């Protein structure tokens, strides 16, 4: 979250690609499926 606050991460538009990129950025160290859609 520090990178978001320091503006080192930016979202150009809110679409599927940017959503996956944000999800990966936030959760890459926690979830193996970060940045991917999954069926549950």
pLDDT for the residue 31:
95
Considering the entire predicted model, what is its pTM? 0.65
State residue 26 phi and psi, 5-degree precision: -75, -35
Give 7-37 pLDDT, tens digit per residue: 566 667 788 988 898 899 889 999 999 999 9
Quick check: 3 pLDDT over 70?
Answer: no
Is residue 23 within 8 Å of residue 30, measured between CB atoms? no
Helix (H, G, I), strand (E, B) or coil at 20: helix
pLDDT for the residue 27:
93
Number of domains in the chain: 1
Structural domain that includes position 20: 1-40
pLDDT for the residue 22:
87
């Amino acid at each position: 979250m520090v990178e978001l606050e320091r503006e080192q991460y930016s979202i150009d538009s809110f679409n599927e690609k940017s959503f996956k990129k944000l999800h990966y950025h936030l959760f890459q160290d926690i979830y193996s499926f970060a940045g991917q859609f999954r069926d549950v």
